[in-house]
Amino acid sequence: MAVWLIRPGDMLDRPVLVAVDKQDVRDRIFVTDGRAKDWAYRPAVNLVNSAPKERQRERANVMWLAGGSFVLDAKARAAIGGFLSRFGELLELHHGDDALYFFNCTNVIDCLDESRTERAEGDLLVIEAIDESKVPSEPMVFKDPKTVRTRIYVNDAAKQVIDQWASEAGITGLEIVPIEPL
């Protein structure tokens, strides 16, 4: 069994999400740590595209907002949101009339293989190695405590489910890739 990274992809020349209220950023409400969030309100976000006008592309269905998470639009939520919600929360964001959902993965599995994980000076993680014997074989979306703020993982079974449903729905902006250096 392999373990993969799931994240927003194909972001070149596409708009990205930014928090409207800088206090939300200072309050770190978008920081993910594997725990459930208790938002008292729907944080407002805007789309920003800094690409030259002639290269700008439409918004993807899956977008980046903060490390260790991603945002789904209504189309992506309809396709894969039910599956993802088994492993975390889909928290609604405020973006005009658009429905956008912040995926906060709360399923944490301690599965890093420290003996094979590469680290740089100062014990900084370069690339993690996963002890696959600690990852269940049924479809699983998860985080590890040591990379909880930056990474979301899927096993082979979850990759198959997400790939199939996202492909059938024509979802853009989502990629499931081999683990690569931070």
Domain ranges of the chain: 3-177
pLDDT value for 145: 95
Whose CA is closest to 48, among 63, 31, 33?
63
CA pair distance 57, 118, nearest whole angstrom: 37
Q: pLDDT of 141-158, one tens digit each?
A: 999 999 999 999 999 999
DSSP state of 69: -
Q: What is the pLDDT of residue 120?
A: 86
Confidence band (pLDDT; 50, 70, 90) for 1?
A: confident
Tens digits of per-residue pLDDT, 52-103? Answer: 888 888 899 999 999 999 999 999 999 999 999 999 999 999 998 888 999 9
* pTM to 2 decimal places: 0.92
CB atoms within 10 A of CB 109: 19
Q: What is the pLDDT of residue 182?
A: 66
What are the backbone dihedrals phi and psi of residue 178, each rounded to the nearest 5 degrees, phi first? Answer: -60, 155
